[in-house]
Amino acid sequence: MSGLVLDPVLVARARELARRAAEPVVELARRHTTVSVERAVLRLAGLTGTDPVTGEGSAGDEQSVGRVPWVNRVVDAVRDQVGLGSGVALPVWHALASGAAPGLQALAEQVGAGTARFSVPAGADAERARDAARDAVAAGIARIDANRTRREELVATLGDPPRRPWIYLIVATGDIHEDIPQAQAAARAGADVIAVIRSTGQSLLDYVPEGATRTGYAGTYATGENFRLMRAALDDVGVELGRYVRLTNYASGLCMPEIAVLAGLERLDMMLNDAMYGILFRDINPRRTFVDQRFSRMVHARAGIIINTGEDNYLTTADAVDEAHTVTVSQLLNETLAKEAGLEDWQLGLGHAFEIDPDVPESFRLELAHALLARSLFPDAPLKWMPPTKHMTGDVFRGYLLDGFFNLAGALTGQGILLVGMMTEAVVTPWLSDRDLALRNVRYVLDAAGNLAEDFAPPAGGFIDRRADTVLREAVDLLGRIADHPEGLIQAIADGTFGITKRSPDGGRGLDGVVATGPDAYNPALELLEREVSRA
């Protein structure tokens, strides 16, 4: 496709500044762990289930929202007895090697009964615990590897959608058993990617519910069983349609590492995984978020999962013209942090959005400039293009037209993932009939436009070229200010740089779950995942 000819010196400068700006949070993540990272280690080793005597419900209930998972119980017990500075693996596998319990499940039940005792081993005992922990976690990573291979086999057998961008559609009723037929119907109507949005507030839960759930609010709980059920349903409809249908969920919030592991274990294909979304829009502590996101992205890298970032959210709180450069800055920072964690270009679903006020003169040309800048900066990334929401009104005809313009911008600028916009977006919860009309809109525009992107080449020095250059230069200036500050990105967030939202380094939820690691710290998952990253 045709693109903008960006100043290569300016682009190189932008990426170098992004690396410098991100460096402090990378170092922060390397020197700390969190309760969710440690729980993810236990999940990779096979520990599942909830404590049947705590919270609401009983052991036989289908839904476990409110019951405490065993991984939480074990990590909390280790933290209370010996701290988490050494990680959870050494104390847990030392207890197992010492004969305290025959396996993880039995040890967890001892924790529930209050009889488990943990200590941090040294010398030969520590080596024995490391070896056992590494073997246990390696089995979980082998399952993730097998799922990646299975995805590749299914894509080779069934085939990918016949064109780009992929059509991405949200399905979430709160009841996984209702989501399934709706998701299959959406795939039959043309959706290539099904996103199951999470129940409102799940990102603020410091545990992952267990099992199939039926009572989510404005979304469906992200659980391992819900992932498994939807994956199987989309595999079935994929065989029927003769194309692989991708599944998306959300690896964000306080349990980002655990949900990333569950996604790998159940063969999800995309995950919402932005470096700053939880900080800005859910008030989750910055330190907690940056430690968790590095681990989660390493899991996604290994699993072959495409991440979707959330730059579009900035434009719901900030002006899409005045603050366009902050989207570019965030994209460059997300790219830097993702690649440091081992993700490749084809896995970077960097976000941007069609959110300029349609009453602004030449708004469509501005939208094209911003979209084409992103496409030209990240030519090998499957960018995720988000539809208008902020300026949607009760005028459904105007809204339908705006979505058509959004779809046309996606076709013109070669976007990779196109989230279906609906004419009642941000006004009411869309009806199924709205979804059907929206899918007709996007299919018509994409089919009619064909490969129009190869014909679209804005002239050098023209309106679009000048606007893109202005945004890129503003982004470089901002990245320079962030990189020159000793605290880098964390201070930029505190200053309200993104989405005009200020978040203190010491504020927000989850800070109490961040732990500085000691000299004897051991995380077998990090060891295995970092070994793979170092080979890349």
- Which CA distances in Å does 137 have to 47, 100, 130, 144? 10, 20, 11, 11
Collapsed DSSP state (helix, strand, coil) of residue 509: strand
Helix (H, G, I), strand (E, B) or coil at 426: coil
Q: 3-class SS at 370?
A: helix
Residue type, 263: A
String of DSSP letters for 190-240: T-SEEE-PPPTTGGG-SS---S-----SSS----HHHHHHHHHHHHHHHHH
Q: How far apart are CA 130 and CA 126, in angstroms?
A: 6
Dist. CA 428–CA 435, nearest whole Å: 13
- Cα–Cα distance list, 365 to 160, 252, 319, 350 (Å): 32, 33, 16, 21
| Contact indicator for 209, 223 with CB cutoff of 8 Å | yes
Three-class HEC string of 141-156: HHHHHHHHHHHHHHHH
Dihedral sign from CA coordinates of 234, 59, 258, 170: positive
Residue (of 325, 252, 360, 285) closest to 499 by Cα position: 325
Nearest residue to 72 via CA among 100, 99, 48: 48
* Cα four-point dihedral sign 139, 145, 147, 153: negative
Distance, in Å, from the CA atom of 208 to the CA atom of 50, rounded to the nearest integer, reads: 10
Active site residues: 277, 312, 384
* d(C-alpha 302, C-alpha 375), whole Å: 25
Residue type present at position 217: Y
